[in-house]
Chains A and B, each alone.
Chain A
Amino acid sequence: MTIEELYGIGEEFRNKLGTFRAEIQVCGGGGCLAAGADDLLKNFDSACRQHGLENKVRVVATGCMGLCGAGPLVRVTLNDVMYTRVTPDDVAGIVEDYSRKLKRYKERLLPGDFAFYGKQSPVVLEHMGHIDPWSIEDYIAHSGYEALAKSVTYHNPESVILEIRNSGLRGRGGGGYPTGLKWDIVRRGPAGNKYIVCNADEGDPGSFMDRAMLQGNPHSILEGMAIAGYAVGAQQGYIYVRGEYTRAIECMRHAIEEAERMRLLGNRIFESGFNFHVDLRVGAGAFVCGEETALLRSIEGLRGQPRPRPPFPSQSGLWGKPTVVNNVETIVNVAPIVLRGARWFSGVGTKGSTGTKVIALTGRVNNTGLVEVPMGTTLRTIVEDIGGGIVNDGICKAVQSGGPSGGCIPAKHLDVSYDFDSLSSVGSMMGSGGLVVMDDTTCMVDMACYFMDFCRSESCGKCIPCRVGTVQMHRLLDKIRRGSARESDIETLEELCVMIKDTSLCGLGQSSPNPVISILHYFRKEVEQHVFEHSCPAGVCSFEDADPASIAPPTSSEDISHA
């Protein structure tokens, strides 16, 4: 394969697409599949055949189109119209409308100026939801593998790294570490085997951006990994995918085979001296395996438990060799940066957080789904404009960002901008991009208890502060929920937060108190109402253990020592 041949394949496929008058794109993302997209696809196929349109209309399943909460979604490219919550009953009407050039079928039509899409600026998700993830040609026809071709053909590895450094790209998996810097360390490491590992373990429950990309645009991940390999001098890459992601795994396997067949992966890529192979490794469902050192052990076939850092994987990773570990979204950002340049990328977003961020917007908002906004967009824009406000005309109480490692941000801070530094300044973090919106039906004590329950059950047990501390914190929070807590329990909670944060071995333990700290800080009154009045403003907690004894003199030894 040469760069000219690549352009040729793209051209040919675009010509083929040009023979169709329109495409009917059915969303094949996780949410829409669950809502019945598979059946729709068949229905559209046969409806088109009935109208004699099989050579005029291309019916295709794409990746996630973003508005997952209103699935199944269907797009007709002719007038670029979208339909939501499509049922098999709507198929005939939509096809008829198209074939007779009517504009009558308004049933499920999404208004053209729908704010959900209007306020977004997709870079990472640019082609997802528009192309067929099972077709490498479709990807190539949308500038796919062009960045890899250009890197290998026209640039030396140092200048690729320089471009990534200048772009200001920071890791999207949670840490926010500068990607170019990480690559540079691996490049400068001792000669010999080096590795690229794509972290697709996606442990934050309620986040699905990585999954969407794996099954919505798998080649964009392979291309980014190959560029990373070229830049740092690695010949082997691994994608570590969560075991539950069956469909994503199939799609990714297929993509690897196709890329090998076209010699976009393998030996002498673009007739250069650069060789790069990618293998898939399937994870087995432990949250902590998303932590990079645990993940590497898991790839080595061991129990995925973290180890102390340093040494960092970039110094000593897989089998002791310098290894780049990057999140899926970080990797997908690479090709656009190579194609459009560092200056373009750093012009998007804020000074400290360049580019865009993909957010999994969920919870009590009207529009839920995958969203991509420039860094620095305010939470208010995300919740009120893109999210369309709170369900049932309710009022936003808080947003939770960063999953079990993040914090709850109260509604009064909705004007904070969504970027690495601003989120930390209000006691939360970006994490991998989960954003859960809460309204007055959400009890903050219950949420704190929920997250602590998660950390408790996901703690790998290697170090004591995390293993024992998370259990104790959960017990105390549960006492508050059940109405048997005392004032001293809040103090103990606060002490435990500090202890676990300071002494745990890995990020899971260190960040596990974050949700609790933020709730004790911003929602103190609500916590105290639980403790002193046995009342839960959200009406969630049932105070089943509440009895006069809970305000009786202390009995346990630790309380006696307080007295």
Chain B
Amino acid sequence: MNADHNSEQRSRHKQLDRALTRHQGAPDALVEVLHTAQQQFGYLSKETLSYIAAQMQLPPSHVYGVASYYPFFRLTPPPEREVTICAGTACYVNGSSRLEKEIRAHCCATKDPNDTPAADIGTARCLGACGNGPIVRVNNDVLLRANVDDVNAALAQQEEDAS
């Protein structure tokens, strides 16, 4: 298990190193390299950012500044389970903000307040299925014309599939 994990980490590092070599000396490649790193590790940790800065011979503050400027880059690990409500205009006029309130009230939270919620709830700018709003993404499942019951059902289904 641990060995597996280590070799996986190593191969991820290799991917990152490859991207760094490919873009050697090209200062415009920073955003590209960050994309690769995030793809490999799921997010950009402090260590990853310092590593990139050292390899690209850029000031760490510059690398951090660029990474934190763009919303697409995650500086913290992604949550294990995620419910994303589309907040784009097309979904908004089809009631996405009311749906968001309902989801926050009725989904994902467990009864025990000390318990961690069952999923992180967030919004996105547009989930790309604008003709079918409101759209909600539950991890990798995209729900069209979604309501609270759909979200709960998807969460339950995924739980079942995982176990």
Contacts and interface: CB of A to CB of B under 8 A. Distances in A.
B86 to A, nearest CB: 8
B89 A303 contact: no
A303 B65 contact: yes
A207 to B, nearest CB: 7
Contact of B88 (A30, A68, A205, A300): A205
Interface stretch (A183-191, A280-288, A490-498): A280-288
Contacts of A302: 66
Given A284-B71, A303-B65, A244 B128 contact: yes
A400 interface: yes
Interface in B119-141: 124-133, 135
Contacts of B93: 362-364, 436-438, 442, 447
Interface in A180-225: 203-208, 211
A34 B71 contact: no
Interface in B1-59: 26-32, 34-35
**Residue from A243, A281, A300, A301 with most neighbouring chain B CB atoms (10 Å):** A301
Contacts, number: 131
A73 B120 CA distance: 33
B36 to A, nearest CB: 10
Interface string A351-387: 0000000001111100011000000000000000000
B94 interface: yes
A71 B128 CA distance: 13
Contact of B131 (A68, A304, A451): A68
Contacts of A298: 31
B126 A304 contact: no
B89 A450 contact: yes
**Residue from B35, B130, B131, B132 with most neighbouring chain A CB atoms (10 Å):** B131
B1 to A, nearest CB: 30
Contacts of B88: 205-206
B35 A304 contact: no
Interface residues of A, number: 49
Contacts of B131: 31, 68-69, 71, 361-362, 368-369
B144 interface: yes
A284 B144 CA distance: 25
Contacts of B66: 301-303
Contacts of B92: 206, 447, 450
A285 B130 contact: no
**Residue from B32, B128, B135, B142 with most neighbouring chain A CB atoms (10 Å):** B128
B31 A301 contact: yes
A31 B69 contact: no
B94 A68 contact: no
B91 interface: yes
Contacts of B29: 301
Contacts of A360: 90, 130
A30 B129 contact: yes
Interface residues of B, number: 39
Interface in A434-452: 434, 436-438, 441-442, 447, 450-451
A302 B18 CA distance: 21
A436 B31 CA distance: 33
A208 B132 contact: no
Contacts of B155: none
A299 B28 contact: yes
**Residue from B87, B90, B92, B144 with most neighbouring chain A CB atoms (10 Å):** B90
A260 B59 CA distance: 36
A68 B32 contact: no
A388 to B, nearest CB: 12
Contact of A282 (B35, B95, B97): B35
Contacts of A205: 87-90, 125-126
Interface in B69-90: 69-73, 87-90
A257 to B, nearest CB: 16
14 contacts: A34-B127, A68-B132, A205-B125, A206-B126, A206-B130, A243-B70, A244-B124, A298-B31, A303-B66, A362-B131, A368-B131, A368-B132, A400-B89, A450-B92
Interface of A: 30-31, 34-35, 68-69, 71, 203-208, 211, 243-245, 281-287, 298-304, 360-364, 368-369, 400, 403, 434, 436-438, 441-442, 447, 450-451
